[in-house]
Amino acid sequence: MRIEGVEVMSVMEKLGTRKTEIDREIEVALAVGENEKLRAAMKHYPLAGGKRLRPVLAYLVADAISGNGPLTVPFGAGLELLHNFTLVHDDIMDKSDMRRGIVSVHKKYDTPTAIIAGDALFALGFEEICKLQVDDVLLRIILNDTAVAVREVAEGQQMDMDFEKRNDVQVKEYLAMIDKKTARLYFTAARVGAVIAKGTIDQIKAMGDCGYLMGVGFQIWDDVLDLEGDEEKTGKSFAGDIREGKRTLMAVYAMNNLKGDEKKTFLSALGNSKASRRTLQDAIDILHKSGAVSYAKNFALEYVREAKEKTSVLQSSEAKELILEMIDFLIRRES
């Protein structure tokens, strides 16, 4: 909603009709199918009020390049459906009960329905992208790049799962994992936004890089929020990443730097689904004290700074300003 006359307006509010267009496209897309239960399960996350960061990014990039943001809407909506499919499947694997403040799909329905709903969202995402009003030759490239991106997201998820069994994950490996698991969809959003807007090769390249850097910054900040965030605001359960044994940048830092009792306490909480709130709080305190949290924050800030630099290929415009604000928003948000 626009709050006129108020100076401190969040970037999400400033997006105005852009986000409404995207929301509307997603809502209409999700009205398909004949099986009521499946349709409801498919809608559960996408209509629970996400921030639509990926479609918004594609839209703003195209707007900044040639004012062609509206052309990106089916692509952005498709990408959002693909992102949501990965959330549905990830929550099954991670045994997460909550997401966006609501119960997860496999908890609300059942695991088979959640697997199928994810698959159907995947297919629907591609149907949406097929609607793009761009040259057919461009559509082939966009669809192929998106399929590759989704496969890499799957590979990133596999790495994430593999890491949960290891205590020797290095920062470089962590970065390779979130490159695929998270940053790849931001990369694709920004890059394809530039392609649809018929940007120059320099702009297409820089926007892809910008998306990648934003994605890494976003994921690291998301992990920090999991520790520091207010449960009510993030909609996630307390210290979920620690309980699930996620190798976040903070956990990786801690496992490579902690010693003695602190390491023992931290490891006793990591991946321990039955850890008490007290143990989890101790683990969080150790992450703070050891410098792991500030290490991660600085890491995210550095990526965000570089992401902003990449926007130098864009001429001044309201859309460019919004991209810069959106990048800042990634590390200021509380949910």
- Can you give the binding site for a second copy, defined by CB under 8 A? 32-35, 37-38, 85-86, 89, 92-93, 111-113, 115-116, 118-120, 122-124, 126-127, 130, 135-137, 139-140, 143-144, 147-148, 150-151, 154-155, 157-159, 161-162
8 vs 137, beta carbon nearer a second copy: 137
Q: How far is the CB of 94 from a second copy (least distance, A)?
A: 9
Tokens encoding 68: 């062609």
115 vs 301, beta carbon nearer a second copy: 115
Q: How far is the CB of 111 from a second copy (least distance, A)?
A: 8
| Residue with the two structure tokens 């409801």 | 40
Q: How far is the CB of 110 from a second copy (least distance, A)?
A: 9
Which DSSP state fits 315?
A: P
Q: How far is the CB of 185 from a second copy (least distance, A)?
A: 12
Q: How far is the CB of 114 from a second copy (least distance, A)?
A: 10
Q: What is 91-113 written as a DSSP string?
A: HHHHT--EETTEE-HHHHS-HHH
List Cβ neighbours of 148 (8 Å cut-off, separation of 6 or more): none
47 vs 93, beta carbon nearer a second copy: 93
| Cα–Cα distance, 154 to 149 (Å, whole number) | 9
Q: How far is the CB of 159 from a second copy (least distance, A)?
A: 6
Q: Crossing angle of helices 111-130/136-163, nearest 10°?
A: 150
44 vs 320, beta carbon nearer a second copy: 44
118 vs 211, beta carbon nearer a second copy: 118
Query: What pairs with residue 103 in β-bridges?
Result: 98
40 vs 324, beta carbon nearer a second copy: 40
- Phi and psi at 52, nearest 5°, equal 55, 40
| Cα–Cα distance, 208 to 187 (Å, whole number) | 5
Query: What pairs with residue 98 in β-bridges?
Result: 103
| Cα–Cα distance, 302 to 331 (Å, whole number) | 11
